[in-house]
Amino acid sequence: MKFHPVTAPIIESLKKILEPSRVIVDKDTLENYAHDETPLYHTLPEVVVKPVSTDEVSRIMELAHEHVIPVTPRCGGTSLSGGAVPLRGGIVLSLELMDRIKEIDEKNFMAVVEPGVITEQFDKELARHGLFFPPDPVSSDSCMIGGNVAECAGGPRAMKYGVTKNYVVGIEVVLADGTVQKYGGKLLKNVTGYDIIDLIVGSEGTLAVITEVTVRVLSRPRYIVALLIPFMSIEDASEFTLQVLRQGISPAAIEFMDGEAYRLVQKYLGRTLPHYEAGTHIIVELDGDEHERIRQQYDTTGEIALRCGALDVYVGETSKDKIRIWEARKKMSDALKAETSPIAREDLVVPKDKIPRLITRLKTHVQSYDACLYAFGHLGDGNIHADIAARKHEHPDQATIMKLRKEIYEITVSLGGTITAEHGVGLSKIGFLSLAVSSEQIELMKRIKMAFDKKGILNPGKIFPGGDRT
Ligand SMILES: Cc1cc2nc3c(=O)[nH]c(=O)nc-3n(C[C@H](O)[C@H](O)[C@H](O)COP(=O)(O)OP(=O)(O)OC[C@H]3O[C@@H](n4cnc5c(N)ncnc54)[C@H](O)[C@@H]3O)c2cc1C
């Protein structure tokens, strides 16, 4: 399908749907919507619109559908797969002003929210009711619920609590032609026909625009303790993780930072961090309602760590100490951005016992490209983030980067893993989908896309290639 440009009459029509101040065409503002947090991707949209209601979204989609104009839905713009980049120009549909928490239903442990609610704000509001929303992407201070649902975001706590799809029980969407549909509700069980909710969660803005979400929430744990444990090697850290789980302890999170990545944060912060010489740093978070039980669990966890060769065990019980323990992990992205020149930012997942092999093989592999691998992420569920940076701050050419990335994915798949765990295929992994999914499966996915969006106007060029300009 050929797309049409956003002409002056289309802008006038948009200004009849929305207040004119929410139809944006000035170049400086468009620039803010030309990229997300993925390095190297940038395309200017022709217009940004900011609806405040489902009805406005519906009318915008109707107009775009009639005139075959590409639409990129967007919330916080923190995607790490180029998902929010308006590859074919057209309209960026920013849901940032649809930011109401419509209901917190304490009796049913449910909440109804609009897509533009910032994830951390949502959790803060829930805390006032003694509740919490477990999915906790590290970007939670700037990403939004709509983006979390569209990417099926995870985060450190996923190892105990699961990812976003485990919490979405109801959804309101606007389809490509402007039709509004609702699925599910405040229901914990629902097998009425195909599970369209699960199809839309993680669909990266390619099937429908999410305008309202009903999520399950949990009772907030009363105690949280964080442990920082340096090990000499990732092998020791991995053995520690397996032994903790075998002991029947269920940490909310087991995060890791490899030595090089940790030392990079140290450089960025400009001060000495504990045991900076270690090969791997682990953060364990334990949560629960009984203080004594948590204390027993962290004692046992500490003993296991020391038996597995830990250099030390730091325990954080107060807010101040917990913030200090998490600091290096939370600052990792900023440090990588400031101190390196990334050529790829990967989100790999393997069965968790394969993590040491994956990291060792990747580190050896990137050396032949004169590149460096900074690995960190969610050891507890086998999901590592690997930033690859050129050693000399000089980017290799695009063909070399693509070759290196392909080889990285082949290593990951050969270990039983896949090319993205929580960041999505988006734009950045589009050429590599067939390494992890068969051609028959890709065909089926394309047929699903067609069933939702015949003209292919929703986030074209994401997950698989699509659409061109007239
Ligand atoms: C420092 C940092 C740390 C991160 N840590 C994590 C982490 O721990 N776990 C994790 O999973 N991710 C993480 N991410 C990635 C990112 O934050 C998540 O993918 C997040 O869910 C994106 O939300 P957003 O609101 O920013 O979405 P956006 O970037 O705006 O959009 C993401 C995708 O969703 C689509 N979309 C957005 N809104 C809608 C909507 N209303 N309807 C339909 N489609 C929509 C877009 O088209 C795009 O494809 C991190 C990113 C950064 C920069």
406 vs 465: which has the higher pLDDT = 406
pLDDT attached to residue 232: 96
Q: What are phi and psi of 449, to 5 degrees?
A: -55, -45
The most confident of the ranges 25-29, 364-368, 388-392 is 25-29
Specify the ligand 1 atom closest to the Cα of 79.
Answer: 29
Which pLDDT belongs to residue 388? Answer: 92
Q: How far is the CA of 252 from the centre of ligand 1 (A)?
A: 22
Residue 466 has pLDDT above 80, yes or no: no
Find the 70 Cα to ligand 1 centroid distance in Å: 20
CA quadruple 427, 429, 434, 436: dihedral sign? negative
Residue with tokens 């951005």: 337
468 pLDDT band (50/70/90 cuts)? Answer: low
150 lines ligand 1 (CB under 6 A): yes
Q: Could you tell me where in the chain the CATH 3.30.43.10 domains are found? A: 2-96
Name the one residue in this structure whose structure tokens are 């699961």: 162
pLDDT range class, residue 39, cuts 50, 70, 90: confident
pLDDT in tens, 304-315: 999 999 999 999
SS (H, E, C) the chain: CEECCCCHHHHHHHHHHCCHHHEECCHHHHHHCCCCCCCCCCCCCCEEECCCCHHHHHHHHHHHHHHCCCEEEECCCCCCCCCCCCCCCCEEEECCCCCCEEEEECCCCEEEECCCCEHHHHHHHHHCCCEECCCCCCCCCCCEHHHHHHHCCCCCCHHHHCCHHHCEEEEEEECCCCCEEEEECCCCCCCCCCCHHHHHCCCCCCCCEEEEEEEECEECCCEEEEEEEEECCHHHHHHHHHHHHHCCCCCCEEEEEEHHHHHHHHHHHCCCCCCCCCCEEEEEEEEECCHHHHHHHHHHHHHHHHHCCCCCCEEECCHHHHHHHHHHHHCHHHHHHHHCCEEEEEEEECCHHHHHHHHHHHHHHHHCCCEEEEEEEEHHHCEEEEEEEECCCCCCCHHHHHHHHHHHHHHHHHCCCECECCCCCCCCCHHHHHHHCCHHHHHHHHHHHHHHCCCCCECCCCCCCCCEEC
pLDDT value at 108 more than 90? yes
The strand pairing partners of 171, in sequence order, are 183, 213
pLDDT above 70: residue 37: yes
CATH number, domain 2-96, options 3.30.43.10, 1.10.3720.10, 3.30.920.30, 3.40.50.10440: 3.30.43.10
Centroid of ligand 1 to alpha carbon of 32 (angstroms): 16
What residues are paired with 358 via a beta bridge?
Answer: none
- Specify the pTM: 0.95
**Angle 57-60-65 from CA coordinates, rounded to 5°:** 120
Percent of the chain with pLDDT over 70: 99
CB 35, CB 88: distance < 8 Å: no
Using 50, 70 and 90 to split pLDDT, how confident is the model at 393? low
The ranges of the chain annotated as CATH 3.30.70.2740 are 340-434
pLDDT of residue 342: 84
Q: Is 333 in the pocket of ligand 1 (CB under 6 A)?
A: yes
Q: Return all residues near 114 (Cβ < 8 A) that are at least 6 apart.
A: 95, 98, 99, 100, 101, 102, 145, 146, 211, 212, 213
Domain 340-434 has CATH 3.40.50.10440: no
Whether residue 145 is predicted with pLDDT greater than 80 in this model: the reply is yes
Cβ atoms of 139 and 124 closer than 8 Å: no
Domain limits, CATH 3.30.70.2190, in the chain: 223-332
Quick check: CB of 204 below 6 Å from ligand 1?
A: yes
Nearest CA to ligand 1 atom 21: 148
CB of residue 114 inside a 6 A radius of ligand 1: no
- Asked if the model's pLDDT at residue 394 lies above 80, the reply is no
Band the pLDDT of 30: cuts 50, 70, 90: very high
101-219 is classed in which CATH architecture? Answer: 2-Layer Sandwich (3.30)
Distance CA 108, CA 274 (A): 44
The model's pLDDT over 60-84, given as tens digits with 9 standing for 90+, comes to 999 999 999 999 999 999 999 999 9
Q: Which residues contact 175 (CB under 8 A, 6 or more apart)?
A: 61, 181, 208, 452, 453
Strand partners, 212: 172
Structure tokens at 282: 């682990």
CB atoms inside a 10 Å sphere around CB 467: 19
* Distance of CA 466 from the midpoint of ligand 1 (Å): 21
β-sheet bridge partners, residue 458: 71
- CA 165 to CA 148: how far, in whole Å? 9
- The predicted pLDDT at position 303 comes to 97
Residue 277 has pLDDT above 70, yes or no: yes
147: CA distance to ligand 1 center in Å? Answer: 4
Q: What is the pLDDT of residues 443-460, one digit of tens each?
A: 999 999 999 999 999 999
Q: Is the pLDDT of residue 26 over 60?
A: yes
Give the closest residue to 261 by CA, choosing from 404, 415, 389, 421: 389
The domain defined by 223-332 folds into Alpha-Beta Plaits (3.30.70)
Looking at ligand 1, which atom is closest to the CA of residue 462? 49
Half-sphere exposure of 175 (CA within 13 A, CB side): 14
pLDDT at 375 over 60: yes
What's the full length of the chain, in residues? Answer: 470
Reading the block at residue 390, the tokens are 């050129």
Q: Is the pLDDT of residue 91 over 60?
A: yes
CATH 3.30.465.10 placement within the chain: 101-219
Residue 470 banded pLDDT, cuts 50, 70, 90 = low
Ligand 1 contact, 138 CB (< 6 A): yes
